[in-house]
Structure 1
């Protein structure tokens, strides 16, 4: 006998009341902020051809995606694990002729084959914005500031922004601190792991000072500047200082210049957003290149962010006080009930003699045209 027909697969779950309402509230708050800053919403499909999703940006890993054969085209399809490549496709095709910089935003679920680290979650809500056609200092400053504003509007408190330089090893190894080609990846890996011994064993002795240029932003950026005797990082350091100054104390700032985890396709600039009291990260962003996949059109610079607000949604749902609800008995005046809803009452109408107001979660009952507390 089948006993598990109603179980959900590992890493997937229903979002029940009041979490579903909190998710809608967070999504609406974020998209409202993005809209006010000129970002237009798009809604790409959940499923695309695998080749399109995997080729739009360098570093996209198709093995993270659920893949299957389309019975109509007999081509391989994939469930999206990240919406950013989809916006890259839209920008390079349907909106290729639209004036740049192009500001787009989105909201929807993404699915991966397995969770991240100790987190088994395989489906997450992803909200975000992409500024396409420019990845300069002004664009970077706007993107970080808008991400912070959007999360704050959604209810996140005490935010921290951690800056990084995803292509740091590539930049330094090209000239200032040369590495043999086969040593670049091990050095990146050990810097990511913050393993001094492993870094030395990988041939990255000269990169050891980077492990101390980590922490509160202003102290760490000074250490990074002192390390950069060749000046190879001078423009990046100056840019980060400007971005930090423009945030004006809206979030705590930290620096981890060699952090690579989660920055598979970002280039000169990246950042991660955290909030006190919430597990994991709330968002991640940075600069990247959109592959045009066309000889007739050049690749395009872009910068953006993705928010993953599930932890925020759970926290808001847990702290949200129960809403008042007005029980409408059989035979109530429907016009009067409509007027009550217009001024903010949530009503629950009886559908039969057996309806119990308290059991249905009501806090008040309509009697003689008045809301009477139960």
Structure 2
């Protein structure tokens, strides 16, 4: 049956995927790499609900993104519910309630599914996994720099060799637009065009405004403010009000801290970056990997979001999208070789106690060991092991071999070793025999 046929009993909805063992193993490898970085930086994992009342997400998603929320009705209350669209508001609510009296700063992480109703494309489904961190209670530039530095370390942990972090400041964009003295609706349209990097629409909107030509040009110049440290000097000429000047000063300080980290080879300043969520209030960044057109990570400051839940508190954070990460690893990283179980135990003896002991000994030492409990000949079992990606076979009860012995066979090289069972188990227990796990 065809999973793509919507009328088939085996069909799956558009925008979701099923992962076979090999792909699942690769995903778990990437998750472990990312989460290990989070743990080394002192972040502790939290779990949030799969669905919430709609208002947890909708005030902060923006008009365009709000259409991407999966919504349904609570049968008991009649209130609208939504599948998890963005974990950050959920963590913000957690901080404002259950964690309200914990000492600050809080360092929280998550690894969870996210649901967005958008057109499925390569590396982007309607259900996808995000792994992220939230640093709560710090408003200093050091906190923003720490987020960017962590993102760099995650990329390195994944084996990515060519990547960059585009750092922006949404308050600079908003300040430059505010200098035009536009209405809230005009401001929304302008920021939307900047967000989409739609130069034609931006020029059309500016033509209809009764504003200073220099201020209009400053808005048009925003998408060109992309590059190294020299961009900060160029941007200073466009900072026409306090909001944009303070934002630029803040970004300059963050960049200086990243220089201290020694990470600026990976950092690009992008002051035309406006694709943040509505709740972002300061420094934002986007991570890209060479060979992949779309982002693998996004983050930024959101000093007002937790306050919406009754607990004013500054915060910043970021998240990696797992599907994008795996595409980046495949394009330019070092994907691991995903193997099946480490051992297949093939036992032809009527008495299974020796085979059970060997399997238990291997498992107790952290090795993966499966028993071949189907009735077939040795060649059939070895063919099965090779097809399943199993690295080694242990054969008991084969012709010409004592019941007190086993044959250890490396399936890649074909090399065999005949070993007494007692000695084999003792050597495994003492750590004298080691294999990759």
Q: Please indicate the TM-score interval, normalised by the length of the shorter structure.
A: 0.7 to 0.9
User: Offset at 1:58?
Assistant: 6.5
| DSSP-derived class of the 1:64 partner | coil
| DSSP-derived class of the 1:356 partner | helix
Stretch of structure 1 that moved more, 314-323 or 187-196: 314-323
Residue equivalent to 1:183: 186
Distance 1:33 1:254, change over 3 A: same
Task: Identify which of 221, 244, 258 aligns with 1:209.
Answer: 221
Normalized per residue, the structure richer in helix is: 2
Residue equivalent to 1:280: 294
Residue equivalent to 2:414: none
Residue equivalent to 1:108: 112
Give the root-mean-square deviation of aligned CA atoms.
Answer: 2.9
Contact 1:69 1:76 in 2 (8 A): yes
| DSSP-derived class of the 2:35 partner | helix
Describe how 1:142-291 pairs up with structure 2 within 5 A: 142-175=146-179, 177-203=180-206, 204-214=216-226, 216-228=227-239, 232-233=244-245, 234-249=248-263, 252-288=266-302, 289-291=304-306
User: Offset at 1:122?
Assistant: 0.6
Residue equivalent to 2:346: 329
How many pairs were matched up?
369
Contact 2:163 2:266 in 1 (8 A): yes
User: Offset at 1:36?
Assistant: 2.3
Q: Cα deviation per residue 1:82-129 (whole Å; 9 max; x = unaligned)?
A: 111110110011111111221111111111122478866111111101
Contact 1:148 1:251 in 2 (8 A): no
Matched residues in 1 for 2:161 and 2:131: separation? 18
Contact 1:166 1:263 in 2 (8 A): no
Distance 1:227 1:369, change over 3 A: same
Residue equivalent to 2:318: 305
User: Offset at 1:30?
Assistant: 1.9
For CA contacts below 8 A with separation 6 or more, give which structure has more relative contact order.
1
Q: TM-score, normalised by structure 2?
A: 0.75
Distance 1:357 1:235, change over 3 A: same
Q: Report which of the two structures shows the higher radius of gyration computed on alpha carbons.
A: 2
Gaps of 5+ in 2: 207-215, 396-404, 412-437
Residue equivalent to 1:371: 408
Matched residues in 2 for 1:139 and 1:224: separation? 23
Contact 1:50 1:77 in 2 (8 A): yes
Residue equivalent to 1:14: 18
Contact 2:196 2:275 in 1 (8 A): no
Stretch of structure 1 that moved more, 271-280 or 94-103: 271-280
| DSSP-derived class of the 1:78 partner | strand
Q: Cα deviation per residue 1:49-88 (whole Å; 9 max; x = unaligned)?
A: 2223334x47485432211122344332211011111101
Contact 2:297 2:321 in 1 (8 A): yes
Matched residues in 2 for 1:19 and 1:117: separation? 18
| DSSP-derived class of the 1:266 partner | coil
| DSSP-derived class of the 1:23 partner | helix
Q: TM-score, normalised by structure 1?
A: 0.87
Matched residues in 2 for 1:196 and 1:66: separation? 31
Contact 2:136 2:314 in 1 (8 A): yes
